[in-house]
Amino acid sequence: MFAELAMPLFDQLYNFAHWLTQDRSEAEDLVQETYSKALRGFSSFQPGTNFRAWIYRILRNTFLTSRTGLQAANTPLEVDEATETLAVTETPESIFLDHTDQKLLRDAIDALPLHYREVLLLCDVEDMSYKEIAETVGIPLGTVMSRLARARGELRKTLQDKLARRSND
């Protein structure tokens, strides 16, 4: 039963762990520890409830109590290398601009406080519903919506400022 629920989420959990830690080895360790804790505590999982939110919450709590998580305010985020594959029709100029825009976005996400980055990544990268995010993070649904709106607003402002500065240079 545990394997049927947990194994399909492996890649998603790893991607989220990698976003949080920005280190492949630490992400692998975090996912391994998450699965270990989830397996040991599986008897506390209530059948019929949201397993995905339950295991993401274990991953999040494990990260926050880790050495890396304690320093999370300084944790930069990184786009998965798979998103940086190039199309055959791209020119050197478009490749350069695309890479520059990805770095700009990564830097803007890095500038967000952890509690904003977290809901933004769970919603926009992991495609979790607001309800799943609330269950995962352990906050009310209204707080999820508020944090997400603030995160997107700060991200938009940061990107606009950086793009304006770039166009003025």
pTM beyond 0.85: no
Q: Report the top-level CATH class of 1-75.
A: mainly alpha
Q: Helices 24-40 & 51-65, crossing angle to 10 degrees?
A: 120
CATH for 85-169 (1.10.1240.10, 2.40.50.140, 1.20.140.10, 1.10.10.10): 1.10.10.10
Q: What pLDDT, in 10s, does the model give residues 96-138? A: 555 566 778 888 888 888 899 999 999 988 889 999 999 999 9
User: Which residues are within 8 A (CB) of 105 and not within 5 positions of it... i.e. 6 or more apart?
Assistant: 79, 159
Every domain of the chain with CATH number 1.10.1740.10 lies at: 1-75
Question: What is the mean predicted confidence (pLDDT) over 42-46?
Answer: 90
Residues 10, 31 contacting (CB under 8 angstroms): yes
Distance CA 28, CA 36 (A): 12
- Between residues 16 and 69, which one has the greater pLDDT? 16
Every domain of the chain with CATH number 1.10.10.10 lies at: 85-169
Distance CA 27, CA 16 (A): 8
Distance CA 72, CA 70 (A): 5
Which whole-number Å values give the CA distances from 106 to 31, 72, 117, in the listed order? Answer: 22, 15, 11
Distance CA 77, CA 102 (A): 12
Distance CA 156, CA 41 (A): 40
